[in-house]
Chain A
Amino acid sequence: MSLTLSEVMRIAALARIAVTPQEAEAVQAQLNGIFGLLEKINAVDTSGVEPMYHARDVTLRLRDDEVTEPDRRAAFQAVAPQVEAGLYLVPKVIE
């Protein structure tokens, strides 16, 4: 299995990473190298093996439903690029 150049561009677009056509060829070679490793894993016969969801064989610890976090808006917003009326301002995301 290997990736085409257009698939590389698509993955880059989804990840919001700007990749020039020249860079894309290098990235394609690197990614296909990784796919080579994956193919080795794929070649292993896993029939009858239960899927593993996590590398550690322990389960989740839960917290009680209690409010423990105080309001720290002032501290958080002190390092935000732009705020107004308690809101974080970002470039407009709707036409």
Chain B
Amino acid sequence: MKWETVIGLETHVQLSTRSKIFSGASTAFGAPPNTQACAVDIALPGVLPVLNRGAVERAIRFGLAVGAEVRRRSVFARKNYFYPDLPKGYQISQFEAPIVQGGALRIVLADGAERAVRLTRAHLEEDAGKSLHEDFHGMSGIDLNRAGTPLLEIVSEPDMRSAAEAVAYARALHALVRWIDICDGNMQEGSFRCDANVSVRPRGAAALGTRCEIKNLNSFRFLERAIEYEARRQIAIIEDGGRIELETRLYDPDRDETRSMRTKEEAHDYRYFPEPDLLPLEVSEAWLAEVAASLPELPVARRERYVRDLGLPAQDAATLTASRETADYFEAVVAGLAEAEPGGERPAQAKAAANWVAGELAGALNRTGVEIGASPVAARALARLIARIRDDTISGKIAKEVFDAMWAGEAGGENAADAIIERRGLRQITDAGALERIIEEIVAANPAQVAEYRSGKEKAFNYFVGQAMKATKSKGNPAQVAEILKRKLAG
């Protein structure tokens, strides 16, 4: 039987406020235990929550960015359960009337195809503290610094059909929350955490299978592997005549498997009820309009602009809009290139800029772990380098050498490329006479290869290209070299 995997994601996005959602304690990461846990966070008797405007504003930003309904009036609720890192005995969350309802996230798949993943809702809630189960004489240690940190829980519809789609969704969401400045996106520090609801069904079936929720997916790679493992596990059980139990499972990256979290019976009865300590949250039209006006151009809009105005392929446009910093850098390169060659064709300039930003530059940033905002090669300097390839001063191959030198700081400023080309003598040989002489010598010195080529072995041609490049120290203009070689070898 052919099986289909159905995936929905719940993502906890830590909102980038300075203070907590219901108290004035700091949310800064990495403070000594319990030094940022005030009376409200540790639930001393008599304290009351006061909602942080900054947390609400970030939720509104998200709602507007995904085209959702931002509720004019939303309500907080208590989610009841007992655990030592939740000192009140309940988490303040939203249940019946979340602040954000609906909306969709548009994702681009590996083949460039675009899809919309529908969102169910996004609601505000507080994070719990941390339990440390290590060595405290058989006891657990509780750090409540994280308790009360604002979270936006974003719930998708079960619209994804493969681990790859789920990863594309998670990446798009990660990019968006950073883009609109509501979350720092730091996955190591837990600022962006995914749970996946996974089920399988025979392909073509209308009804959904029983799902399992997988927790502890703190990287895109784990998300992908956990879903793949879980789908295989469920298919194997059903094919053996078994049934899937609705349960919560934990992904273990060391063993690359999911396993059942032993949850006590009835653990999932949270007995939600409206939070009596908080009045309904009202969002006025004026506030909504103010937040809407403060939003930057969104990734989807930029992506479409790159395809429409710059003629970029969809996949390139998606790569370049992975972060606002990357998109801004790319646009600065395009602007620099337009300035360097005013008469140039814009789509060709844009494509060259895209190739360099997503290729050589991204590679160097990855290798060195440098953020694009701190790139040692500035956008305008890269534009000048690309201009030198396009005006045939250097070949693409030599340009990589120049780029490496620029990266290493051999020359600075906007004209770093020109300085390095001159200093190293990398200017391409485009003098046809000079190239012809060099190639004639090579042809004369290699009669055996000439005979081979003339007998129909096309591969021998590459040998001559190699020799010509060697003789010109890679400075021969590749197109010219090929043209002259063809002529000379034809005999």
Q: B60 to nearest A CB, angstroms?
A: 12
Q: Which residues of B contact A68 (CB under 8 A)?
A: 19, 24
Mask, A12-27, CB within 8 Å of B = 1, is 0110100000000000
Q: Are B18 and A66 in contact (CB under 8 A)?
A: yes
B133 touches A94 (CB 8 A): yes
Q: Which partner residue on chain B sits nearest A65 by CB separation?
A: B54
A72 at the interface (CB under 8 A from B): yes
Which B residues, 107 to 134, have Cβ-Cβ distances below 8 Å to chain A? Answer: 131-133
Bound complex: CA A53 to CA B269 (Å): 22
Would you call A85 and B141 a contact (CB within 8 A)? Answer: yes
Whether A93 touches B140, Cβ cut-off 8 Å, given contacts A64-B54, A76-B34, is yes
The answer to whether B23 has its CB under 8 Å from any CB of chain A is yes
Is there an interface contact between A67 and B19, defined as CB atoms closer than 8 Å? yes
For the complex, give the distance between the alpha carbons of A89 and B276 in Å.
Answer: 30
CB of B144 within 8 Å of the partner chain: yes
Segment touching A, from B172-180, B278-286, B297-305, B412-420: B278-286
Chain B residue numbers with a CB within 8 Å of A85 are 33, 141
Report how far A65 CA is from B55 CA in the complex, Å.
8
Query: For the complex, is B53 an interface residue (Cβ under 8 Å from A)?
Result: yes
Quick one: which of B267-283 are within 8 Å of A by CB?
A: 269, 271, 274, 276, 278-282
* Chain A residues with CB under 8 A of B73: 53, 59
* A58 and B279 within 8 A (CB): yes
A side interface size, CB within 8 A = 36
B56 at the interface (CB under 8 A from A): yes
CB-nearest residue of chain A to B264: A13
Is A92 an interface residue when CB atoms closer than 8 A count as contact? yes
In the complex, the chain A residue whose C-beta lies closest to that of B15 is A65
Contact with B along A24-46 (1 / 0, CB 8 A): 00000000000000000000000
A42 to B: closest C-beta gap in Å: 17
Scan residues 61-91 of chain A and give those whose CB is less than 8 A from a CB of chain B: 61-69, 71-73, 76-77, 82, 84-91
Q: Mark B24-54, 1 if CB is under 8 A from A, else 0.
A: 1110000011111111001010000011111
A59 touches B279 (CB 8 A): yes
Return B91 CB to nearest CB of chain A, in Å: 15
Tell me if B141 and A87 are in contact (CB < 8 A): yes
* Set of chain B residues within 8 Å of A89, measured between Cβ atoms: 136, 139-142
A34 to B460, CA, bound (A): 95
| Residues B33-85 near A (CB distance < 8 A) | 33-39, 42, 44, 50-56, 73, 75, 80, 82-84
* Minimal Cβ-Cβ distance residue in B for A89: B139
| B:139-162 near A, CB below 8 Å | 139-144
The residues of A that contact B266 with a CB separation of less than 8 Å are 10, 13-14
Q: A67-B19, A69-B26 given as contacts; is B141 within 8 A of A84 (CB)?
A: yes
Determine whether the beta carbon of A92 is less than 8 Å from that of B139: yes
- Contacts A65-B53, A71-B35 hold; do A59 and B269 have CB atoms under 8 A apart? no
Q: Is A1 an interface residue (CB 8 A)?
A: no
CA distance A60 to B279 in the complex (A): 5
Contacts of A14 in B (CB 8 A): 80, 266, 269, 271
Nearest Cβ in chain B — how far from A19, in angstroms? 15
User: Which residues does chain B contribute within 8 Å of A88, judged by CB atoms?
Assistant: 34, 84, 141-142, 144
Interface residues on B, range: 35 or more
B137 to nearest A CB, angstroms? 8
Contact B18 A65 (CB under 8 A): yes
Q: Which single residue of chain A is at the shortest CB-CB distance from B80?
A: A14
Shortest CB distance A63–B (Å): 5
**Taking the complex as formed, is B471 at the interface, i.e. its CB lies under 8 A from any CB of chain A?**
no
Beta-carbon contact of B52 and A93 below 8 Å: no
CA distance A87 to B33 in the complex (A): 6
Which residues of chain B have C-beta atoms less than 8 A from A92's C-beta?
133, 138-140
Residues of A within 8 A of B274 (CB): 53-54
B17 within 8 A of A: yes
> Are A86 and B33 in touch, CB under 8 angstroms?
yes
Q: Distance in Å from the Cβ of B412 to the closest Cβ of chain A? A: 40
**B97 in the interface, Cβ–Cβ < 8 Å?**
yes
Chain B nearest CB from A16 CB (Å) reads 6
B residues less than 8 Å from A84 (CB atoms): 136, 141
**Distance of A10 from chain B, by nearest CB (Å):** 7
Known: A54-B274, A86-B35. A59 touches B282 (CB 8 A): yes
CA distance A63 to B131 in the complex (A): 29
| Bound Cα distance from A90 to B34, whole angstroms | 14
- Least CB separation from A55: chain B residue: B276
Question: Shortest Cβ distance from B144 into chain A, in angstroms?
Answer: 7
In the assembled complex, the CB of A81 is this many whole angstroms from the nearest CB of chain B, namely 10
Instruction: Name the distance in Å between A6's Cβ and chain B's nearest Cβ.
Output: 12
In Å, the complex CA distance between A7 and B52 comes to 39
A70-B84 Cα distance, complex, nearest whole Å: 23
- Whether the Cβ atoms of A69 and B42 lie closer than 8 Å is no
By Cβ-Cβ distance, the 4 closest A-B pairs, closest first, are A65-B54, A68-B24, A87-B141, A86-B33
Task: For the A-B complex with A62-B50, A93-B131 known, give 6 more contacts whose Cβ atoms are closer than 8 Å.
Answer: A59-B73, A65-B52, A69-B38, A76-B39, A86-B35, A87-B142
Q: List 17 A-B contacts (CB under 8 A).
A: A14-B80, A53-B75, A54-B280, A60-B278, A63-B50, A65-B18, A69-B36, A82-B139, A84-B141, A86-B33, A87-B132, A88-B141, A88-B142, A90-B142, A91-B139, A93-B140, A94-B131
